[in-house]
Structure 1
Amino acid sequence: MSRLNAQETEQVAQLKAEQTAEQKTEQEYQWLDTMHQNIASSVNSSALWFDDFFALKDFDNREEAYGEARIRLGWEPRSRQLNEFETRIKISVKLPNLKNRADLVLSDYDDDRPNNDIQASGNNESVDKNRFSLAIRWRSSPDSGLSHRLGLGRRLQAFVKSRYRNSHLLSEKTNLRWETSAYLYSNDGLGANFSWQLDYNASTHSIFRWNNNYYFRDRTNDWLWQHSWQKLTQFNEKNALIAGIYIEGLSRPNYHLDEYLISLRWRKNTLRKWLFYEIEPFVLWRRDEQFSASYGIALRLEGYFGDI
């Protein structure tokens, strides 16, 4: 009994120490809270401004427009290429005056490409052309898997896009997510995408993931394909590790491999609930570099500005 009491006392003491450390961290770095509040307030003000365009004078809507933003900064140096920098900004604005069936999405990257790829390994031409997108997204209901977009993207080309997403629980541990889309850009022409993701929950803290993506590009009349295999491990609420293998290629002039990559990504929540950093060492092999190994490390900082 005394041993149990000692263990309980030790656990209580450890919990108090962790709470004290968290309180101390909250008291420090007050400039982070100020920055977060200013950016979140600015995004919400923009949301209210956009929503006013669709307001009806005789209709009293008690729900206010809401905006959220994700900002990601990264440096991904590797041998033979030290100046690989990554900046990603995505702002979503909910418009309740359109019954939450439409929202405004602004980003400086094309969300057709996977979020988990490394910029140093991507198709540079595609990355350069897909830097900015501003669109109105519409759905028949807030939880509908079918959505449509109308806006500007890829160096201010007008575009329209329709996308459908769905998921299926194949077993207690296996889940399948898939999506397909078609779009038309004023200069680049037609394009299409089909992708699926298979997750296997090996344990409460570990997931095996298989990703497959196919992109048809009318401008070049070919398919860009990507496959990846990942293992995601969550150690606690603040630390996670992702080990992955990624391959990418094209269908013309024949179906061939352009590059492949292996990486180990550590993601940590730090200082505040909305702030994360990542450290990802990787090895990359590219066809235009005669598949000679290139060693690098990705360093990223990501902030979420909205309700936590």
Structure 2
Amino acid sequence: MHKTVSESVLDTAQWFDNFFANKNVQEDQKALGEVRLRLGWIPRSRELEEIEARLKVRVKLPNLKNRVDLILTDSDDDQEDKIRSSRRSQFNRDDSFNVALRYKARPDSGLSHRIGFGRRFQYYARSRYRDGFTLTDSLEMRYDASIYYYNRDKFGATLSFTFDYDFSQELLLRYHNRFDYRDRSKDWIWQHSWQGLHQFDDTSAVIYGFYIEGISQPNYRLEEYLVSAKLRKQTKRNWLFYEIEPFVLWRRDEHFSASYGIALRLEGYFGER
């Protein structure tokens, strides 16, 4: 099954890339495509029926000198390390479903530009710059800044920076910050997280996390916070993973009463990256 789906993904990527083929230029690279599919059930007290389904498709196009990627996803890829499954905020739902072309002047450039459709099928354009540098042998900093425009939500901007500290060969400590300004509502959302990533071996790891999120309007205040411990393990198939993540969530709209839950997920990768 995995071989059949992966071959279909690569055939589709090659078919799309052939639209940009130049008969006078022979490309020795093949088009690559990867599909990431995640399915999960996240029951918690006061909400037992929440189902998570996430999809991300990325196609690399050698006929465009690997400067353009086609990306289709049902979530904002800036949010990959957030605990999204336990959250029901309007901001997170707005970021669902996104299809876009991403352009880079060079494949390894930190500056990229994207045009496409997202957030309830609005057309948008976004420019982003990503980079990082090493502070010490054990400490690294990465940062990300972007500005975007949606036809109904208007302008917005995002700034994030992350510190990674190699505490030991098996343990990485991470401190992450993110700030989102939204022109539509004239406010901004702030998020902070502290994580410990402990690797047991080449196929399994656990991530301990503490996450907080807040807004600036009608005043600067905390909206929710969450603690979790996520076990991620590769199965006997190197393309298939499962996750078990118990968590406790406190939200303002639930009067900061503790909600206990567990996330059970399967994640598969198809194609070739």
- Identify the residue that residue 210 of structure 2 maps to in structure 1: 245
Residue 97 of structure 1 aligns with an amino acid whose one-letter code is N
Q: Work out which of the residue numbers 118, 125, 144 in structure 2 matches 1:179.
A: 144
- Identify the residue that residue 19 of structure 2 maps to in structure 1: 53
Residue 147 of structure 1 aligns with an amino acid whose one-letter code is S
| Paired residue secondary structure (2:86) | helix
Higher relative contact order (CA closer than 8 Å, sequence separation 6+) = 2
Does 2:241 match 1:255? no
> How many residues align structurally?
273
**Identity across the alignment (%):** 53
Contact 1:151 1:158 (8 Å CA) reproduced: yes
- Identify the residue that residue 283 of structure 1 maps to in structure 2: 248
Higher share of residues assigned strand: 2
Q: For the pair shown, which has the larger CA radius of gyration, 1 or 2?
A: 1
Q: Deviations over 1:43-70 (max 9, x none)?
A: 1111112111111122222211111111
Alignment of 1:76-225 (within 5 A): 76-123=42-89, 125-225=90-190
Q: Aligned equivalents of 2:180 and 2:18: distance in 1?
A: 37
Residue 95 of structure 1 aligns with an amino acid whose one-letter code is L
Q: Aligned equivalents of 1:290 and 1:155: distance in 2?
A: 30
Contact 2:141 2:164 (8 Å CA) reproduced: yes
Where structure 1 has 5 or more consecutive residues not aligned to the other structure, the ranges are 1-34
Q: Deviations over 1:159-200 (max 9, x none)?
A: 000010001100000010110001101111111100011011
Give the TM-score taking structure 2 as reference length.
0.97
Residue 231 of structure 1 aligns with an amino acid whose one-letter code is G
Q: Deviations over 1:118-173 (max 9, x none)?
A: 321352x1232222111110001010000000111112111000010001100000
| Paired residue secondary structure (1:119) | coil
Q: Aligned equivalents of 1:238 and 1:62: distance in 2?
A: 34
Cα shift at 1:114:
3.8
RMSD: 1.2
| Paired residue secondary structure (1:42) | helix
Where structure 2 has 5 or more consecutive residues not aligned to the other structure, the ranges are none
| Paired residue secondary structure (2:70) | strand
- Identify the residue that residue 17 of structure 1 maps to in structure 2: none
Give the TM-score taking structure 1 as reference length.
0.86
Residue 141 of structure 1 aligns with an amino acid whose one-letter code is R
Does 2:28 match 1:71? no
- Identify the residue that residue 259 of structure 2 maps to in structure 1: 294
Higher share of residues assigned helix: 1
